[in-house]
Structure formats: C-alpha cells, structure tokens
C-alpha cells in the first residue's frame, strides 16, 4: 500500500485518479479549493483517508497546505493535478499574480519545495505545453498583451520544466510530467476526442507501479514516453524558472 496526496482532486482527473488508487487499496489524501468542494470530494471518493483544503491561488494558503500535508506524515507519491484553464482576462490574485500562473505554476513549485520529499512526483501538463514559452522575464504578463491560450500553454511548460529540474536535482526521486490527452472533462469540454477513462491511468501507474517502465523520470502520455518542448530540457532555463519562483514566493528550492 502506498500513501498518495493529490491536489485538485475534488473533480475531474484528480478525483478519477483518487478513486482508482482507493479501489486498489492505497491510502489517498485528496484536496479541495474550499470547504464545500472538500466536503463534496469526500462524498464522491468514499475510502479516501482525509481531505485538505486550500485555495492554491494564494501563496499563504499554499504554504499552509504544505504544512497540513506534512502533519499527516510521509507520502510515497504526490500528484500535482490542480489547474485552471483559459482565463480570458489578466485576472490577478491577492498576491498580484495572474491567477493561471499562480495556480498552475507557482503553487506547484511551492508545494514541491515544502512537502516532505516523496519517492515519486507527477505533474499534470498538457499537449499545449508544446506551444508554451518560459516567459521568465515577464511571468506577471505586465509587458505582454494577454493571451488566455498562451498563458495556459506557458504554465504547462512550467510544469514540465519543474519536473525535469526536480529529476535532475533530486537523485532517487522519480519526477514525471504527464499529458493526459484532450479529454471531455469540465475543463476539456464535451467535444474532446481522447478517452476520459484512460486519462487518469498514467498518473496512477507512475504513482504506484513496480513496472520498471514507471520507475523513471520524463514526459508521458498513456504510459508511453511523449515528445516534449525541447526548452524544458535546457538546464539554464530550468534554473532560471526556479530562481524566478523563489523571488515571487520567497521560498527557495531545496537542495
């Protein structure tokens, strides 16, 4: 039995992954953005060990979430699944950050830094990361004209950058980015062509499988290696991304 924590698991792929893991006998802690969503998540995922609550658009709440997770003990795997999609305007959080960057990129960085290091880390990216740009000189989109699709694509590239940086800096930790495909979730829309049933299986496989193919680091799609934006493998870009996240959050990447 493995102990797994999943962000953004009150609905969608995060909830589906949680249900599969619980069904297989693993101890799963789920997460909701607010109390109502957390309550609903527990009702939808009977057998989950517990639920933790935090709004990941807030640096303060994200830090508190890491503290709450650490208080529950050591986890074998953390699935960074939380995310928001197309935000049509440059909507800022209380910390003065574009909400899509705060949730999709910075909160993931903060939780990676602060949660006790697990054996496996899985980051939910997207095929849209292929058109992403690091944008490290303007993460707040103060100089660029806002584009909802580009902002989302950039954050999904950030997730791959973070996964690859973790794999490089933390030997012994398997860190993977996954593309679940374009699937008909609330985020993907009813017309999405990929299999919803198959979408969470790669997260689960990477989190708990003893298959040698799952005990690696990289980018995956349906349990197979997936091509990625080559900038994600640029060590200098990885390090600059970590540096910028440190500046924005006040939290330094450990090790």
Q: Is residue 133 part of a domain?
A: yes
pTM: 0.96
Question: How distant, in Å, are the alpha carbons of 156, 161, 195 from that of 191?
Answer: 21, 29, 11
Q: Is residue 254 part of a domain?
A: no
Catalytic residue (one of 109, 123, 152, 221): 152
Q: What is the pLDDT of residues 126-152, one digit of tens each?
A: 999 999 999 999 999 999 999 999 999
Domain that holds residue 178: 3-249
CA angle 29, 34, 37 (to 5 degrees): 70
Number of domains, the chain: 1
Q: What is the pLDDT of residues 193-251, one digit of tens each?
A: 677 788 899 999 999 999 999 999 999 988 888 899 999 999 999 999 999 999 999 99
Question: How distant, in Å, are the alpha carbons of 86, 93, 153, 248 from that of 98?
Answer: 12, 6, 14, 12
DSSP-derived secondary structure for 174-222: EEEEE---S--STTT-TT--S-TTTTTHHHHHHHH---GGGSS-EEEET
Q: Is residue 53 part of a domain?
A: yes
Q: Is residue 141 part of a domain?
A: yes
Q: What is the pLDDT of residue 190?
A: 73
Q: What is the pLDDT of residue 91?
A: 96
Q: Is residue 94 part of a domain?
A: yes
Concerning whether 243 is annotated as a catalytic residue, the answer is no
Q: Report the alpha-carbon distance of residue 157 to residue 159 in Å, rounded.
A: 5
User: Buried b / exposed e across 66-82, counting CB within 10 Å, b at 16+?
Assistant: bebbeeeeebbbbbbbb
Q: Is residue 56 part of a domain?
A: yes
Q: Is residue 182 part of a domain?
A: yes
CATH number of the domain enclosing 165: 3.40.50.720
Concerning whether 156 is annotated as a catalytic residue, the answer is yes
Q: What is the pLDDT of residue 47?
A: 97
Catalytic residue (one of 19, 123, 156, 174): 156
Q: What is the pLDDT of residues 150-192, one digit of tens each?
A: 999 999 999 999 999 999 999 999 999 999 877 667 666 776 6
């Amino acid at each position: 039995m493995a102990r797994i924590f999943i962000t953004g698991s009150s609905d969608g792929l995060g909830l589906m992954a949680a249900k599969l893991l619980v069904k297989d006998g693993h101890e799963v802690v789920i997460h909701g953005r607010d109390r109502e969503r957390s309550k609903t998540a527990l009702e939808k995922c009977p057998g989950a060990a517990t639920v933790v609550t935090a709004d990941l658009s807030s640096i303060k709440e994200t830090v508190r979430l890491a503290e709450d997770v650490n208080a529950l003990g050591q986890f074998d795997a953390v699935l960074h699944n939380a995310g928001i999609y197309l935000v049509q305007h440059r909507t800022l959080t209380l910390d003065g950050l574009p909400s899509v960057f705060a949730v999709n990129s910075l909160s993931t960085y903060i939780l990676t830094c602060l949660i006790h290091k697990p054996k496996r880390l899985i980051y939910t990216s997207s095929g849209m990361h292929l058109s992403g740009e690091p944008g490290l000189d303007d993460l707040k989109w103060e100089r660029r004209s806002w584009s909802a699709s580009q902002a989302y694509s950039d954050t999904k590239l950030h997730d791959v950058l973070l996964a690859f940086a973790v794999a490089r800096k933390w030997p012994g930790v398997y860190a993977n980015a996954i593309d679940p495909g374009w699937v008909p979730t609330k985020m993907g829309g009813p017309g999405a062509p990929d299999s919803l049933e198959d979408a969470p299986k790669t997260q689960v496989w990477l989190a708990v499988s003893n298959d040698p193919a799952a005990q690696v680091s990289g980018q995956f799609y349906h349990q197979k290696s997936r091509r990625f934006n080559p900038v994600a493998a640029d060590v200098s870009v990885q390090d600059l991304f970590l540096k910028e996240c440190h500046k924005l959050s006040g939290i330094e990447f450990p090790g």
